[in-house]
Amino acid sequence: MDNTGYCSESFNSLQSGTSDEDMVEIAGATLDFSSTDDVPPLDRDYGSGGSYGAGDGPNGVPKLMDLLDEPVPGVGTYEDFNTIDWVREKSKDRDRHREIATKSKESTWALMKSISDAFSGWLLMLLVGLMSGALAGGIDISAHWMTDLKEGVCLNGFWFNHEHCCWNSNETTFQERDKCPQWKSWAELIVGTNNGPFAYIMNYLMYVCWALLFSFLAVSLVRAFAPYACGSGIPEIKTILSGFIIRGYLGKWTLMIKTITLVLAVSSGLSLGKEGPLVHVACCCGNILCHLFTKYRRNEAKRREVLSAAAAVGVSVAFGAPIGGVLFSLEEVSYYFPLKTLWRSFFAALVAAFTLRSINPFGNSRLVLFYVEFHSPWHLLELIPFVLLGIFGGIWGAFFIRANIAWCRRRKTTRLGHYPVLEVLVVTAVTALLAFPNSYTRMSTSELISELFNDCGLLDSSQLCNYTNVSITKSTSDALPDRPAGHEVYTALWQLSLALVFKMLITVVTFGMKVPSGLFIPSMAVGAIAGRLLGVGMEQLAYYHHDWVIFRGWCSPGADCITPGLYAMVGATACLGGVTRMTVSLVVIMFELTGGLEYIVPLMAATMTSKWVADALGREGIYEAHIRLNGYPFLESKEEFSHKTLAMDVMRPRRSDPPLSVITQDGMSVEEVESLIAETSYSGFPVVVSHESQRLVGFVQRRDLVISIENARQRQEGVVSASRIFFTEYTPPQPPNSPPPLKLRGIMDLSPFTVTDHTAMDIVVDIFRKLGLRQCLVTHNGRLLGIITKKDILKHMAQMANRDPDSILFN
Amino acid sequence: MDNTGYCSESFNSLQSGTSDEDMVEIAGATLDFSSTDDVPPLDRDYGSGGSYGAGDGPNGVPKLMDLLDEPVPGVGTYEDFNTIDWVREKSKDRDRHREIATKSKESTWALMKSISDAFSGWLLMLLVGLMSGALAGGIDISAHWMTDLKEGVCLNGFWFNHEHCCWNSNETTFQERDKCPQWKSWAELIVGTNNGPFAYIMNYLMYVCWALLFSFLAVSLVRAFAPYACGSGIPEIKTILSGFIIRGYLGKWTLMIKTITLVLAVSSGLSLGKEGPLVHVACCCGNILCHLFTKYRRNEAKRREVLSAAAAVGVSVAFGAPIGGVLFSLEEVSYYFPLKTLWRSFFAALVAAFTLRSINPFGNSRLVLFYVEFHSPWHLLELIPFVLLGIFGGIWGAFFIRANIAWCRRRKTTRLGHYPVLEVLVVTAVTALLAFPNSYTRMSTSELISELFNDCGLLDSSQLCNYTNVSITKSTSDALPDRPAGHEVYTALWQLSLALVFKMLITVVTFGMKVPSGLFIPSMAVGAIAGRLLGVGMEQLAYYHHDWVIFRGWCSPGADCITPGLYAMVGATACLGGVTRMTVSLVVIMFELTGGLEYIVPLMAATMTSKWVADALGREGIYEAHIRLNGYPFLESKEEFSHKTLAMDVMRPRRSDPPLSVITQDGMSVEEVESLIAETSYSGFPVVVSHESQRLVGFVQRRDLVISIENARQRQEGVVSASRIFFTEYTPPQPPNSPPPLKLRGIMDLSPFTVTDHTAMDIVVDIFRKLGLRQCLVTHNGRLLGIITKKDILKHMAQMANRDPDSILFN
């Protein structure tokens, strides 16, 4: 992997530069309380079990002294860019829980602690919701203000955005509430007038300059302080939730810089959204707040439960859709999602949504980003255009993913990647120059979507609503009948078509640059434009040809039979579905925007079509594609492993390789083990009874072994290179004059997972996915034969799909 | 288990009497195509793998001939009241899928078949949705009609219910649309008047008689034709979804009888609802429709995916809440819920909801059962009464579960259980006699809930809305201000209090009788009454004491500050939550009823409080309690296993027991194996290399072994008692004159799951849950030591919780 990759730089160069806040490596000095957590759970004294349990022999006592009273710092933790062992983490948590439950019976203080421990999860959720909601509100308000700053400034105070500026004005009417004397465009401020070509050029220039300034600031901040802050963050969060460790990815620096640069990037007018990055921001909040609670700080599995909930919170504040957010987390990003997390996510998502509402960034006390007011019914025949929109969305999604991945790969492999700042500036300049002349691209993308979603009321003054008012024959109470379009509508359609082409192309090069960038909003914009175009087309067709067979019976003159806003909504859903391959969560998010079940069938038809079409053109969604591009060890849980291979085809060593490196339970000296460690780079070694029998006893992690030996050499008297290492329960009496033995049963996992060599790989993959394993040992008739790691599986899958197995970079 | 148990009779007596439609046992005769599915997947020739694969030695050919070309019928299926092996089933399905995918490249016809196979899941979902929706519509209409029949009859046609009867009448006004001359009460019809004590007694008598008739019919039909049709069915469906087999539980007889008797039971006025049984009805539809598709007919795991979706459909049609239904299935009933199922469930739930709406059983084209029209805001201080309602709900839930389980246990163990018909008749008589005088218990429970949920409009004529109209000071457009209650409201409150006590007591004895009975509606009724009482109380308090500190500032005179209907809704949610311990799904169902996010916080506060309070008083929800009462082998996935035991403490054999019964891979004769089978009752045997080494080779199911030996004795020439059985890959040359060997490698599972004896039980439980195992072998240093089955785990858990381990009845 070279140094010029994707939006996050090469990992090797980053490992040292990140904050120590996150994915905390437990340093020796901080081990003051609950320190027994660091010992793998299975080495505890299971007194009640008792048949072969420790502690019933004379040697049980020294073992306890060696390892339980004085745990070796660092044992049981993970290195950066490594995969966690879910089973071990969950087991650790259960041990912890058990300990607290046992202690709670002893004293009132312990009982209080146990209760506070039980409620700490809820408290944490509350805090995550509050913090994310507040941050999202701040981002919304700042982005709104800075977007308007590109066009002008408020004389009452530069900190007012356009809308707020005119609220205080008495001279505005309801229809023209955006026009007021207090708000000055840059041309008005500088040359005193807003008319004429000179003023236009002045405004144009200021617009481009501000855009360049914002994007320059954004990319510089990202490069200088937090390289992880770029992109949408969802691919990395998916990987982290599946059990990977990227230190600093969810740290306080990333949070700060991402929050600031997100505002800058959105304000610069680049074709990107803030919805995806809000998920990253919420996850940072979750991760940072985890440090307040030992339960979550010390356990990677528990922490990931919080992060799953935080992802739900992110979508909840992005769209104002708490249920949709929870389903998004469940469907799209989470890996292990227990029911308890479902319930807590829901709570956190609600708290965040209501925090955001009380901040009221949109100034309309609405929870949702795009509020849809119409409730006019749709006809069954309209499913045909909806399905067409679905097909469009699917094709666009597949095209976008291919084009974007090709572009990102180009950035990784060519000189392009060496100039990220220049790249951002060029794209910003092109975007701003092309966007300004067209009013639909000049406005912010979310405003555009809002306008496209809206149905035209009688009072609407926008270009798109310039219909010829015909005398209304049937007086319906709320719905307006279909009317012929005025010439401004046709102008708007032309502008929208240009905007469509522009957005489709510019988004491809924008997503993946070194600034925070989400693609929910750009994708939705593409779909909404396409949908609105089709909707207006259908409407006019129905108006002028209401005698056609397809319109007869339901679309008589004077009836409101086509709602172009609904088409825009369906189109947006289809395109977003095509790009991300979301299904239920997408429909539910859209359902929450409308608040009624009326439109669920059109939305579902479009989503389904879009997913099928997109899947037919390319299996992966944009997030999976980026995960693969970056070589993360992510074991997709949606796709079935469909090959006929067996465990023995995947395991190492292959038949031509040297035999598996193992440690015997009582036969090796410190020196031998150290040379084994030095010669190999495996992350763990099986422990066997003897080389001859190859009967499996346990498994030790390389990291634990290194730390323990180092620690023993430093602290334990007499441990030298010739000392023998014992993994057995009872150490046989040593001959006199021999150095004291080193007992390491404590760091050995006594319950390694095994499968037989004849196990079908689909079952092995299932086990890895469901249990979250790092590795699994392979046996044949009870003898140890080899080992399969997550990386082996991913490489095997890559090979089976005719991809380069070396694209999987991490363990 | 004696013969007089719970609503479903003793299983032993039922196994023969059920339909052969369901959980189909593949009989030899039906094996015409795709018959290779019956061979355990791991015995296939994995040509591509190849290192030790079959087919590379001369003996590969006979093996293929023995087993692949002519699979033994019945191998790979399950016995009734047994647990399925999820891993095996899913592996089977993947093999099937692989085969179709490979074939599809060969011919167009195969490609068509492959496509139709891919879409069969969606088609099945569509059918399940349509069928369940139609059935639910039919049930709604019939139940409505028959409930009204207890009170009177329509002269225009006896098939009209009260409401429909009066629709056609011209003489009704909007306010009195329930009164029309065409509808005659029984007294009017018989004695010509509706006034006077005689007419009252007449109506009373007819009411009781009809109730007795309906309930007698219901219980007789259930006893005569489908004993499984009783109860709500949800505990059994949970168990079936977790991988248990109960033949006939979801069959066509159960469906028919349950549909009919559900209508009868609801109409009889018993304190029960149709919502739970609708889940059972929908699951029956799902199971029956599975028979149309080989993919689902032949695979227990795939079928359970359909059943999960069907459970969602059931709730969707019961409440008109498709999203809530899907979450109910996810949270409450399903065990293994892949994302694909989520998406399909959602589709099926929507189809069902829209089918139901087009049938329009409530006559108001609404999707939901209780449509709530008010949208008045609530104040933060109101959370206090909402939390109080939550506490009430939790206490009631815990009390109900204890009382009901105690009563059901009494029914099981005493003579009470011998007279199910009499029991139903007595309870019906008591219910009818006590219910008639009180108008709130006389009406159907869902009508009662509807009325309690509704806010009083100006035009409402019901007793509960008899407020004194004061002059309205502030003219608010839609919301009515709080008003003093009229004396009819006080009467209504008294009646409601009596109804509350009555419902609370009678529901305890009703749930679990031998008629279809759900408890969603009765629980909600209890909560709704309590909530409405509190709501009206609060309203009056706020009206008369609006100067109190707690009301000051938000509840000035003339403001509409308290909505009693909202309190009823919150109360209903709390009680339902206390009984079932649903969380997210409950809130979402309620959210769908109101269609807005306004009330989600009160609902959530009540649900959370109710769950915490109820959990503090007793861990189990009503369904889990009934599962335990019936001794089903259900491994709860919500509760953490929190004990410190190890695998060796749970495995069989115990230290004092005789050693594990094993089969050696090449050393045993047919006779020896047959005597082993005869002497033991284990459902499977490990195969080892030799008795001395105890190295594990594989695992054979008892059923497969029995069937194969029987089959070989009948069909394979020369196989006699002295024939040796080989589980090895290559059969050594036999001495001359010895009988031909029996090669059974084909039926052996070559990849049995193993754990070491030191594995903590919490990990073992996790593995069982997540992978859906039936059994797991225990090894120590590579030697086979014992076996743990699901039943062993459940017994161990029972023992740890100080319960009777023998209460677990099935494997």
Interval A256-310: pLDDT, tens: 999 999 999 999 999 999 899 999 999 999 999 999 998 898 889 999 999 999 9
Chain A positions touching B48 (Cβ under 8 A) are 643-645, 649
Tokens of B811: 């494997």
Q: Per this entry, what is the length of chain B?
A: 811
Contact A346 B584 (CB under 8 A): yes
Contact B597 A592 (CB under 8 A): yes
Indicate the CATH number for domain A84-144+229-365.
1.10.3080.10
CB A799 within 8 A of CB A805: yes
Instruction: Compute the distance between CA of residue A600 and CA of residue A594 in angstroms, rounded to an integer.
Output: 9
Backbone angles phi, psi at A485, to 5 degrees: -75, 140
Instruction: Compute the distance between CA of residue B666 and CA of residue B742 in angstroms, rounded to an integer.
Output: 10
Q: Which of B508, B527, B499, B516 is nearest to B370 (CA)?
A: B527
Residue with structure tokens 């399925």? B84
Cα separation of the two ends of chain B:
15
Residue A182 binned pLDDT confidence (cut-offs 50, 70, 90): confident
Chain A closest-CA separation from residue B636 CA (Å): 12
CB A589 within 8 A of CB A319: yes
Q: Per this entry, what is the length of chain A?
A: 811
* Nearest residue, CB atoms, B339 vs list A331, A600, A756: A331
CB B349 within 8 A of CB B362: no
pLDDT confidence of residue A613: 95
Q: Which of A301, A353, A274, A373 is nearest to A88 (CA)?
A: A301
Of all residues in chain B, the one with the smallest CA distance to A601 is B350
Where in the sequence of chain B do the CATH 1.10.3080.10 domains occur?
123-359, 386-469+489-626
Chain B closest-CA separation from residue A429 CA (Å): 42
* Nearest residue, CB atoms, B91 vs list A87, A339, A762: A762
The region of weakest confidence among A8-12, A270-274, A556-560, A749-753 is A8-12
Instruction: Compute the distance between CA of residue A737 and CA of residue A310 in angstroms, rounded to an integer.
Output: 59
The strand pairing partners of A686, in sequence order, are A699
Tokens of B500: 């509350």
Contact B781 A697 (CB under 8 A): yes
**Angle between helical axes of B564-580 and B600-617 (0-180°, round to 10):** 40
Please determine, for residue B658, whether its predicted confidence score (pLDDT) is greater than 80.
Answer: yes
Mapped onto helix, strand or coil, the DSSP state of residue B505 is helix
Chain A closest-CA separation from residue B292 CA (Å): 24
Instruction: Compute the distance between CA of residue A728 and CA of residue A747 in angstroms, rounded to an integer.
Output: 12
Chain B closest-CA separation from residue A245 CA (Å): 23
Instruction: Compute the distance between CA of residue A75 and CA of residue B334 in angstroms, rounded to an integer.
Output: 38
Chain B positions touching A309 (Cβ under 8 A) are none
**Helical segments of A511-668, H only:** 520-544, 564-580, 584-594, 600-617, 622-629, 647-650
Please determine, for residue A510, whether its predicted confidence score (pLDDT) is greater than 90.
Answer: yes
Quote the Cα angle for A138-A140-A142, to 5°. Answer: 65
Backbone angles phi, psi at A263, to 5 degrees: -60, -45
CB B144 within 8 A of CB B450: no
Residue B11 binned pLDDT confidence (cut-offs 50, 70, 90): very low
Indicate the fold that domain B123-359 takes in CATH: Clc chloride channel (1.10.3080)
Contact A42 B758 (CB under 8 A): yes
Instruction: Compute the distance between CA of residue A142 and CA of residue A778 in angstroms, rounded to an integer.
Output: 56
Residue A10 binned pLDDT confidence (cut-offs 50, 70, 90): very low
Instruction: Compute the distance between CA of residue A753 and CA of residue A647 in angstroms, rounded to an integer.
Output: 13
Question: SS3 helix, strand, coil % of chain A, rounded to 5?
Answer: 55, 5, 40
Q: Which of B83, B3, B49, B30 is nearest to B701 (CA)?
A: B83
Please state the ipTM of this predicted complex: 0.84
The strand pairing partners of B244, in sequence order, are B83
**pLDDT tens digit sequence for B130-182:** 999 999 999 999 998 999 898 888 888 888 888 777 776 655 455 455 667 78
Centre a 10 Å sphere on the Cβ of residue B731 and count the other Cβ atoms it contains. Answer: 17
Contact A350 B655 (CB under 8 A): no
pLDDT confidence of residue B168: 65
Class in CATH terms, B386-469+489-626: mainly alpha
Instruction: Compute the distance between CA of residue B50 and CA of residue B199 in angstroms, rounded to an integer.
Output: 88
Tokens of A435: 């966007």
| Per-residue three-class SS string for A137-166 | HHHHHHHHHHHHHCCEEECCCCCCCHHHHH
The region of weakest confidence among B205-219, B392-406, B482-496, B549-563 is B549-563
Chain mean position to CA B468: 47
What residues contact residue B549 under an 8 Å CB cut-off, 6+ apart?
Answer: none
Tokens of A583: 């299904």
CB B43 within 8 A of CB B745: yes
* Nearest residue, CB atoms, B339 vs list A51, A638, A762: A638
Where is mean pLDDT largest: A88-92, B74-78, B479-483, B736-740? A88-92
Residue with structure tokens 């859903």? A573
Of all residues in chain B, the one with the smallest CA distance to A751 is B759
* Nearest residue, CB atoms, A97 vs list B347, B642, B784: B642
Chain B positions touching A595 (Cβ under 8 A) are 595-597
**Angle between helical axes of B487-510 and B520-544 (0-180°, round to 10):** 150
* Sheet hosting strand A754-756, strand order edge to edge: A783-789, A775-780, A754-756, B754-756, B775-780, B783-789
What residues contact residue B82 under an 8 Å CB cut-off, 6+ apart?
Answer: B244, B245, B683, B810, B811
Contact B759 A781 (CB under 8 A): no
Contact A696 B781 (CB under 8 A): yes
Half-sphere exposure (CA, 13 Å, Cβ side) for B397?
39
What residues contact residue A158 under an 8 Å CB cut-off, 6+ apart?
Answer: none
CB A794 within 8 A of CB B786: no
* Nearest residue, CB atoms, A595 vs list B596, B752, B770: B596
**pLDDT tens digit sequence for A191-225:** 888 788 888 999 999 999 999 999 999 999 999 99
Specify the higher pLDDT residue, B28 or A432: A432
Class in CATH terms, B647-807: alpha beta
CB B718 within 8 A of CB B702: no
* Nearest residue, CB atoms, B98 vs list A53, A642, A750: A642
Of all residues in chain B, the one with the smallest CA distance to A90 is B763
Chain B positions touching A41 (Cβ under 8 A) are 760
CATH number of this structure's domain A380-417+446-629, picked from the four choices 1.10.3720.10, 3.40.50.1000, 1.10.3080.10, 1.10.357.10: 1.10.3080.10
Contact A584 B90 (CB under 8 A): no
Largest CA distance in chain A: 112
CB A355 within 8 A of CB A135: no
pLDDT confidence of residue B804: 84
* Nearest residue, CB atoms, B644 vs list A48, A648, A760: A48
**pLDDT tens digit sequence for A113-160:** 888 888 899 999 999 999 999 999 999 999 989 998 988 888 888 888
CB contacts < 8 Å between A and B, how many? 216
Give mean pLDDT, residues B652-658. 84
Where in the sequence of chain A do the CATH 3.10.580.20 domains occur?
647-807
Residue with structure tokens 């050919």? B61
Of all residues in chain A, the one with the smallest CA distance to B98 is A642
Mapped onto helix, strand or coil, the DSSP state of residue B311 is helix
Cα separation of the two ends of chain A:
15
Residue A178 binned pLDDT confidence (cut-offs 50, 70, 90): low
Where in the sequence of chain A do the CATH 1.10.3080.10 domains occur?
84-144+229-365, 380-417+446-629
Mean pLDDT of all residues belonging to chain B: 82
**Integer Rg of chain A from CA:** 31
Burial of B750 (0-12, 13-18, 19+ CB in 10 A): buried
* Beta pairing class for A775-780 and A754-756: parallel
Contact B751 A758 (CB under 8 A): yes
Mutation test of the interface with chain A: which of B125, B302, B584, choosing the one with the most A Cβ atoms within 10 A?
B584
pLDDT confidence of residue A268: 92
* Nearest residue, CB atoms, B782 vs list A597, A645, A783: A783
Contact A645 B46 (CB under 8 A): yes
Identity of residue B539: E
Q: Which residues of B760-788 are buried (b: 16+ CB within 10 A; e: fewer)?
A: bbbbbbbbbbbbbbbbbbbbbbbbbbbbb
Chain A positions touching B308 (Cβ under 8 A) are none
Chain A closest-CA separation from residue B600 CA (Å): 8
Alpha-carbon distances, residue B499 vs A464, B236, B445, B527 (angstroms): 58, 31, 11, 12
| DSSP letter, residue B740 | P
